[in-house]
Amino acid sequence: MSEVNLKGVVKRFGDVQAVAGVDLHINSGEFLVVLGPSGCGKTTLMRTIAGLEKPEEGQISIGARDVTALPPRKRGIAMVFQSYALYPHMSVAGNIGFPLKAQGRCPDRAEREQRVYQAAQMVSIEHLLDRRPRQLSGGERQRVAIARAIVSQPEVLLLDEPLSNLDAKLRAYARDELKGFQRKLGITTVFVTHDQIEAMGLGDRIVVMRDGLVQQVGPPQAIYDRPQNTFVATFLGSPGMNLQLVSDQVQRGFRPEHLLPLGELPPGAAHEPFSWRVTRVENLGSDRLLYGHLADFRGEMQLTVSRLPSNVTIEIPLDTVCEFGVAHDQLHFFDVASGERLEEGVAA
Ligand X SMILES: Nc1ncnc2c1ncn2[C@@H]1O[C@H](COP(=O)(O)OP(=O)(O)OP(=O)(O)O)[C@@H](O)[C@H]1O
Interface residues with ligand X (CB under 6 A) are: 13, 16, 18, 36, 38-44, 194
For residues 35 and 125, which CB has a smaller minimum distance to Mg ion in the complex?
35
Query: Which member of 88, 267, 268, 285 binds another protein (CB under 8 A)?
Result: 88
98 binds, among ligand X, another protein, Mg ion, none (CB under 5 to 8 A by kind): another protein
For residues 37 and 180, which CB has a smaller minimum distance to ligand X in the complex?
37
Closest approach, Cβ 104 to another protein, in A, equals 10
Closest approach, Cβ 1 to ligand X, in A, equals 26
Q: For residue 19, which of 75, 52, 58, 61 has the smallest C-alpha distance?
A: 58
Q: Which stretch binds another protein (CB under 8 A): 24-32, 46-54, 190-198, 265-273?
A: 46-54
* DSSP state letters, 155-200: SEEEEESTTTTS-HHHHHHHHHHHHHHHHHHT-EEEEEES-HHHHH
What Rg do the C-alpha atoms of the chain give, in angstroms? 24
In which region does residue 78 sit, left (phi positive, over 0), alpha (psi from -120 to 50) or beta (all else)? beta
Closest approach, Cβ 196 to ligand X, in A, equals 12
For residues 86 and 243, which CB has a smaller minimum distance to another protein in the complex?
86
Query: Which member of 38, 89, 127, 134 binds another protein (CB under 8 A)?
Result: 89
Q: Give the C-alpha separation, 216 to 203, whole Å.
A: 14
For residues 152 and 215, which CB has a smaller minimum distance to another protein in the complex?
152
Closest approach, Cβ 42 to ligand X, in A, equals 4
238 binds, among another protein, Mg ion, ligand X, none (CB under 5 to 8 A by kind): none
How many DSSP H helices and E strands does the chain contain? Answer: 9, 19
> In this structure, what are the phi and psi dihedrals at residue 196, rounded to the nearest 5 degrees?
-70, -25
Residue 13 engages another protein in binding (rule: CB under 8 A): no
Closest approach, Cβ 11 to ligand X, in A, equals 8
| Residues pairing with 322 in the sheet | 276
Q: Give the C-alpha separation, 5 to 60, whole Å.
A: 6
> In this structure, what are the phi and psi dihedrals at residue 228, rounded to the nearest 5 degrees?
-75, -25
Q: Which stretch binds Mg ion (CB under 5 A): 37-45, 64-72, 109-117, 334-342?
A: 37-45
Q: For residue 72, which of 35, 105, 46 has the smallest C-alpha distance?
A: 46
Given a contact cutoff of 8 angstroms between Cβ atoms, the answer to whether 252 and 321 are in contact is no
Residue 98 engages another protein in binding (rule: CB under 8 A): yes
Residue 119 engages another protein in binding (rule: CB under 8 A): no
For residues 43 and 182, which CB has a smaller minimum distance to ligand X in the complex?
43
x-or-dash string of contact with another protein, 58-87, rule CB under 8 A: -------------xxx---xxx-x-x-x-x
Given a contact cutoff of 8 angstroms between Cβ atoms, the answer to whether 11 and 56 are in contact is yes
For residues 193 and 228, which CB has a smaller minimum distance to Mg ion in the complex?
193
